Structure 1
């Protein structure tokens, strides 16, 4: 007996199979679809950093077939970060934009960020217990806990250290870090116009000798200030955006001004050392320019003894701070003939 299937039923069966095939293909995007979607999200961000949440982690990491056709650099942050975490996030954005500018045609490395308040389960998948944290998820990483983690000591280098981490994990150079200009073109034009307008009046006062530039006390104060700011590392703090202090993670009401370890230095440490160096410099200047002109030898000896004690105290504090941060000590070596 021959079984005959109605044409209408056969047509419906074919339509159902086609629908199932289309649904399965839509539910499981191809590698090119994932890359194209990441590129679209990256183009919508000014810095190129894609904002992830739990659904994004599931789509592009946990559900994506291995090996993935891309690598992800993930920055872990908070919805209300402190000043230090916000600065690290901005440095991460600089690395992302610099990488995009150097690799305009690269489709395989993407920069992302996650916030704890909206992606708590993703933090658990990565095993993140403290902030800041940066991870590299390569194409072969099956478990997110096994992703490459940036060392905590490297965060002091900010964008430069992040760029080294990216280069080490992706084998691609980040390129020069492109930082935005502190002064906008409009501000530069305004300053130029103001300078041109005031130039005749300034030149007249300079020729007449009626400006502050002719005051020796001004130049002396500027000299001491430049020396103090130079030995205190002010330019280093400005370029790398080093904070003066940080809040204690265990006690938010407590401020930390000195951090142990040579991998991190706060602005307060530099200013403390700069203050000690400035004291020594002023004492040497006083002894060589003022003390030598005193005629009373007793007064000279008294001032010189006090100056030596203050200089010894300042140098001792600098050596103590260096030993506390690095563990290196200063040893006294006597000549062989004196032993």
Structure 2
């Protein structure tokens, strides 16, 4: 049977559609295989790491970004070994917090492989991967970025973490990841301050010294019977409470940071309510302590002075210094948070 010239275009079109329909599943299967192979490789690298962090380089990152579609996200910590000696950057401490969060994420999801396969913690070093730093547009450290599964451009499609959030360390990193990926980080498993061996040694020493301490206590020859110790301790506790020292210790806040625009300059007071430096707390604590000591002096010492002129003079000086200190605290609070302090008089008087 002969084929007419009019039916030739129709047959060609049907043949083309048939070939395309047969080739499309193989194309999708190839893309899925590439994602599965890459996922297996990343899981293998993570299993060999004690913290579960995947160390990236230019080649591996290039393979990840060119694999589409991807079924996982990356959270990247940008590191530079040559900057570890700059204490103001706190790269080593932030990196350890990043590794701690990665290890905690693995512990909390060790029974959920689906959650572990959706997020990989990665670190990348400047000396090894300068090209990747340039593609991300990273020119200052510390820096953390999230690379979503659908990202095709390293710079424009990735999400950077706000530098002001680094003050809360692993907790702020966990909140950033949870808000962007909808994954649950879970509890952060921090190592204990003392190991079992150290704790056992301290208990043994305490038990051995207990009879000697009890003997001194009955004789009244301990430091606990010294009034100067209690006086100094009360001043220390007062300063400790009003200066926010506990906040600085828990969050490992630096005393100061370097200016991003001019690294030779140091910043001791950070404008913004999201972060407090150690120098700020000490300054406020010093001002509050001045007022507290003056108040204690006026109420316990000055009242015993018999010369009325000396009493008035010292009282005026104490009031002037106290007003100056309080004004400095109010000014710093207004500069830092934007909130103003003003007098309030009830309208019903």
Smaller-chain TM-score bracket: 0.7 to 0.9
Matched, 1:37 2:46: no
Q: Distance in 2 between matches of 1:252 and 1:129?
A: 13
Q: Distance in 1 between matches of 2:285 and 2:220?
A: 34
**1:131 corresponds to:** 141
Q: Distance in 2 between matches of 1:171 and 1:225?
A: 44
Q: CA RMSD in A?
A: 2.2
**2:66 corresponds to:** 63
Q: Distance in 2 between matches of 1:201 and 1:141?
A: 68
Moved more, 113-122 or 83-92: 83-92
**1:271 corresponds to:** 282
SS state of the match for residue 72, structure 1?
A: strand
Which of 109, 116, 120 in structure 2 is aligned with 1:110? Answer: 120
Q: Deviations over 1:305-331 (max 9, x none)?
A: 111111111111111111221222223
Matched, 1:75 2:72: no
Pairing of 1:112-191 with structure 2 (within 5 A) = 112-145=122-155, 146-191=157-202
Matched, 1:95 2:101: yes
1:32 deviates by 2.3
Matched, 1:308 2:319: yes
Moved more, 126-135 or 221-230: 126-135
Structure 1: which 5+ runs fail to align? 1-24
So what's the TM-score if we normalise by structure 2? 0.84
Which of 239, 246, 257 in structure 1 is aligned with 2:268? Answer: 257
Q: Distance in 2 between matches of 1:42 and 1:227?
A: 48
1:276 deviates by 0.7
So what's the TM-score if we normalise by structure 1? 0.86
Q: Deviations over 1:181-203 (max 9, x none)?
A: 22122111111111111111111
**1:197 corresponds to:** 208
Structure 2: which 5+ runs fail to align? 1-28
Q: Distance in 2 between matches of 1:226 and 1:156?
A: 24
Q: Distance in 1 between matches of 2:194 and 2:238?
A: 26
Which of 227, 230, 248 in structure 1 is aligned with 2:241? Answer: 230
